[in-house]
Amino acid sequence: MKGKVYLVGAGPGDPELLTVKAVRLLGSADAVLHDELVTPEILRLASPTAQLHNVGKRCGKKRVTQQEINFLMAGLAVAGQRVVRLKGGDPLIFGRAGEEMEALAAAGIPYEVVPGITAALGAAAAAAIPLTHRRGSGALVFLPGHRAGSQEETGWREFVRCAATLAIYMPGQNYGAIGRRLRDAGLSGETPCAMISRATTPTQQWQVTTVAGLHSAPRLPSPAILIVGEVVQHAAEPHQRSVLPRDLEQFLLQAREVKHGELIS
């Protein structure tokens, strides 16, 4: 009897941002094939009997090839196992889910996609940046920062002309090159931007600068994302926390004290 593969989004890092369905599937999985950047706190939600396979890559170094991942997913499912392919962020955004779905369909393996919070949304929430704004940007564009071909350059000019907020994934450490590419696309050097590192985790940090100031901005640890646009002027100060309370139990205790709309002291 064939099993099933679930392509599950692990979100940006905070386990409390997982969907209820993702948590349920992790708890009942026979095997979990996870990316390198999925946090240990999230992996601890997997069933104690589940096989854990690290199939991710870091800094461009692959543990296994995409073809090997496809073969492993299919093989485990054919053996009747419930397989969770756990991906950072959302599976459908820069996550090669398209290739994996094609491989599973070709092998006749049933699969299901469980969305997650993509890095841009987690980073924006952490820094209190509205990705769209009535008096700023009315569009949002996700871009990969690690490809610099001429075709992508042309696209960047089009996005700049429509005044969209740009969320640049995997910008690397050469901030100056990103800044030059943005200016070549027609963006003003005074345009605000924010580099957010390890968003929603206890080690998150971010820096706000301008496109012209990117070359001298402090280098933040990976994984990071760059948000560019006038909306960044609304960002919180880097020392401020703008995520939901991490101690959910304490939060619920406080909520129980609410009576007739007033907090009992």
The dihedral sign for the CA sequence 215, 218, 222, 225: negative
Radius of gyration of the chain (CA): 20
Which amino acids are annotated catalytic?
A: 35, 57
- Residue 38 one-letter amino acid: V
Nearest residue to 139 (alpha-carbon basis) of 121, 163, 122, 123: 163
Q: For residue 17, what are its two tokens?
A: 């941002």
Residue 67 to residues 55, 74, 87, 96, Cα–Cα distance (Å)? 11, 11, 16, 12
Q: How many CB atoms lie within 10 A of CB 230?
A: 15
Cα–Cα distance, 71 to 109 (Å, whole number): 11
Cα–Cα distance, 117 to 124 (Å, whole number): 11
- Indicate the burial class of 264 (C-beta count within 10 angstroms; 0-12, 13-18, 19 or more): exposed
